[in-house]
Amino acid sequence: MISTNDLRSGLTINFEDGVYMILEAEHVKQGRGSAFVRVRMRNVKTGATISRTLRAGEKVEQAVIQKREMQYLYSSGDEYYFMDTETYDQVPIRAEVLGDALKFLKENMVVQVLEYEGSIIGVELPNSVELQVVETEPGVRGDTVSGGTKPAKLETGAVVQVPLFVNTGDVIRVDTRTGHYLGRV
């Protein structure tokens, strides 16, 4: 059993006769009344997304997920092919199963593939990845009205807010859990 206070994205729980992967968990404490957790989660089997509000401190059962280390090889259409690093078997995974991980997935990257009862439910990326900036506007000196950041398009197609000094061609480190810029490499 796990407390709703400990819910975070990527966790899998047994909820309402199904297994769900947490996509977002927002902890809310109001001035009056008790705290609660607003959760958006995806059904592992059907792919349906639901939103629920749970009381803080309530207990939910955590689902047991198997993890296998695999290397991303290539994509073909909406299928992405991964190779098991132990058996060298190649496994296709559909784009909708990968979800937001596609924004940071790079060829030859080693990831943890998550399985529940023999079916693949998603992938767990490393906490940070190094990606090249392929497109960004040049930073204008003294332009700090916008908070000192600008959008930058990365080699995987993801768009991340970066400081003004980052230029096209730079390699940056990005947090895969939040999508935030961590630093230049």
Where is the domain boundary, 32, 62, 92? 62
54 and 81, same domain (yes or no): no
* pLDDT at residue 144 in the model: 60
* pLDDT at residue 5 in the model: 82
Check which CATH number belongs to the domain holding 108 and give it. Answer: 2.40.50.140
Stretch 72-82: mean pLDDT: 90
132 and 178, same domain (yes or no): yes
9 and 58, same domain (yes or no): yes
Per-residue HEC secondary structure of the chain comes to CEEHHHCCCCCEEEECCEEEEEEEEEEECCCCCCCEEEEEEEECCCCCEEEEEEECCCEEEECCCEEEEEEEEEEECCEEEEEECCCCCEEEEEHHHHHHHHHCCCCCCEEEEEEECCEEEEEECCCEEEEEEEEECCCCCCCCCCCCEEEEEECCCCEEEEECCCCCCCEEEEECCCCCEEEEC
pLDDT, tens digit, 9 for 90 and up, residues 62-71: 888 888 899 9
Check which CATH number belongs to the domain holding 14 and give it. Answer: 2.30.30.30
74 and 47, same domain (yes or no): no
145 and 173, same domain (yes or no): yes
Residue of 111 and 1 predicted with greater confidence: 111
* Domain housing 70: 66-124
Question: Per-residue pLDDT for 145 more than 80?
Answer: no
Mean pLDDT of the chain: 85
- Cα gap 74→45, rounded to integer Å: 25
Domains contained in the chain, number: 3
Going by pLDDT thresholds of 50, 70 and 90, the confidence category of residue 72 is very high
* pLDDT at residue 147 in the model: 67
7 and 52, same domain (yes or no): yes
179 and 144, same domain (yes or no): yes
Question: Per-residue pLDDT for 12 more than 90?
Answer: no
Where is the domain boundary, 16, 42, 62? 62
Residue of 76 and 119 predicted with greater confidence: 76
89 and 117, same domain (yes or no): yes
* pLDDT at residue 146 in the model: 57
54 and 72, same domain (yes or no): no
Going by pLDDT thresholds of 50, 70 and 90, the confidence category of residue 82 is very high
Residue of 2 and 10 predicted with greater confidence: 2
159 and 175, same domain (yes or no): yes
92 and 133, same domain (yes or no): no
pLDDT, tens digit, 9 for 90 and up, residues 109-138: 999 988 888 888 888 888 889 999 999 888
104 and 143, same domain (yes or no): no
